[in-house]
Amino acid sequence: MPEKKRKKYWVGFDLGGTKMLANIFDSDFKLAGRARKKTQSKNGAQSGLDRIAETIEGALAQTGLQKDQLAGIGLGIPGPLDPSRGLVIHTPNLGWRNFQLRKPLEDAFRCPVFVINDVDAGIYGEFRFGAAQGTRCAVGVFPGTGIGGGCVYEGRILTGRNRSCFEIGHIQIIPDGPLCGCGQRGCLEAVASRLAISASAASAVYRGEAPNLQAQAGTDLSNIRSGALADAIKAGDAVVEEIVRNGARWLGVGVVTLVNLLAPDVVVLGGGLVEAMPAIYVEEVTRVAQARVMAPFKDVFKIVVSQLGDDAVAKGAAAWAEACVDGK
């Protein structure tokens, strides 16, 4: 009797600004297990690598799988990367520079490892399994700690020759505007990221204009997260709602540039801010984008919310690993 073919398992990893998520998927991309850890970004890249490995080990332990059952690992990492070498070039919000991720993880887990930008992974996940299925050109815009972008064109992730690209968060929006984490001024990220929105909301709390947010989070930026902003809006903090809507409108300005350049079928909005306040983001981004794009591009694209939510990056990273290993 022929030996039964052994099932393949894929790891998808999402390195967020505050959390790490390792998901293990079977060959049908059903979730087999997961593990989370805090990122602890202030401890440096080597500590981050150790925590990545520990998180993957934790997911393996939960499922009872062994390392030799892994067919591949996909890592979704924020910031510019060199996917061909598995190298983190710079993560502005983590402070990692020129750091090798692929080789030590391949040595540790004895399987192929693929390093891609986190929003590239997220939009690829949406293309394979979610809101962008069946599209020719799909763009992802994920506002969070920063603002990431990605594009899947005819089934492939759009990259440079040896660089990830699509850094929509660093489109120049306001000449000589607020300082951005990348070192430049006036970037989209400096006015529309969660950090930018939270800073404006903290100022409103300080001025006594947002009593519900004050009761929840005070003026501490580490406490003014997406859920807290959404709860304050529901509780009646009108100034917080206007701050969030203003950030969403700026995001719409950035989306205009992408539509004029690429004419995508769909723009998928994801990330913590969008998940917490989807109606606000779809409404404002759609309104601004439709009003400002060139006339030939009006009404040929849709603004939609991620269907995969918190799992978009991890599932997309795992699917990209499968695509690379199997030559899809």
pLDDT value for 4 = 42
Per-residue confidence (pLDDT) for residue 327, from 0 to 100: 78
Instruction: Kindly tell me the burial class for residue 313, based on how many C-beta atoms sit within 10 Å of its own C-beta (0-12, 13-18, 19 or more).
Output: buried
Ordered domains of the chain (ranges, CATH): 9-124+311-326 (3.30.420.40), 133-306 (3.30.420.40)
Joined together, the tokens standing for residue 231 give 């709860």
What pLDDT sits at residue 318?
98
Q: What is the pLDDT of residue 42?
A: 62
User: Quick one: pLDDT at residue 41?
Assistant: 60
pLDDT of 132: 98
Structure tokens at 156: 């492939």
Classify residue 192 by its DSSP letter.
H
Percentage, residues of the chain above pLDDT 70? 96
pLDDT tens string 278-315: 999 999 999 999 999 999 999 899 999 999 998 999 99
DSSP of 232-298: HHHTT-HHHHHHHHHHHHHHHHHHHHHHHHH--SEEEE-SHHHHHSHHHHHHHHHHHHHHHS-GGGT
Q: What is the pLDDT of residue 2?
A: 41
Residues of the chain with confidence (pLDDT) below 70: 1-7, 17, 40-43, 328
pLDDT at 158: 95
